């Protein structure tokens, strides 16, 4: 059985029973509804998307270069340290 929309349920509550003031609960959107608009990206042209993708690729390549250089420097320090230990013995 499909779930009724909350607005439909409130209409039924208003129609039931003797006429009196009906207290309606304040309807708050759930988290998904509140953040749905935040998730939508602005519409971009294919050219703008391609430019952003290119910039992202360059950034990732630069980060990978930094990581590789740091690893190389770390390996050099470790090899030098190891050599110094051997020299002491």
Comparing 8 with 60, the larger pLDDT belongs to: 60
The number of distinct structural domains making up the chain is 1
CA distance 89 to 87: 5
Q: How far out from the chain centre does Cα 18 lie? A: 50
Whether 31 is in a domain gets the answer yes
pLDDT for 62-71, tens place per residue?
A: 999 999 999 9
For residue 78, pLDDT over 50 is answered with yes
Task: Identify the domain containing residue 41 by its residue range.
Answer: 6-88
For residue 14, pLDDT over 90 is answered with no
* pTM, full prediction: 0.44
What pLDDT is stored for residue 68 in this prediction?
93
CA distance 53 to 59: 10
Whether 38 is in a domain gets the answer yes
Phi, psi of 41 (to 5 degrees): -85, 150
Whether 24 is in a domain gets the answer yes
Whether 1 is in a domain gets the answer no
Whether 61 is in a domain gets the answer yes
CA distance 52 to 78: 39
- In the numeric block, the tokens 């998730």 are attached to 39
């Amino acid at each position: 059985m499909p779930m009724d929309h909350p607005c439909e349920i409130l209409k039924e509550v208003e129609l039931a029973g003797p006429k009196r003031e009906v207290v309606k609960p304040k309807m708050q959107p759930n988290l998904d509804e509140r953040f749905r608009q935040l998730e939508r990206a602005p519409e971009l042209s294919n050219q703008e998307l391609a430019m952003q993708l290119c910039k992202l690729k360059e950034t990732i390549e630069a980060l990978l270069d930094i990581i590789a250089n740091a690893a190389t420097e770390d390996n050099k320090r470790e090899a030098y340290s190891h050599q110094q230990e051997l020299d002491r013995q």
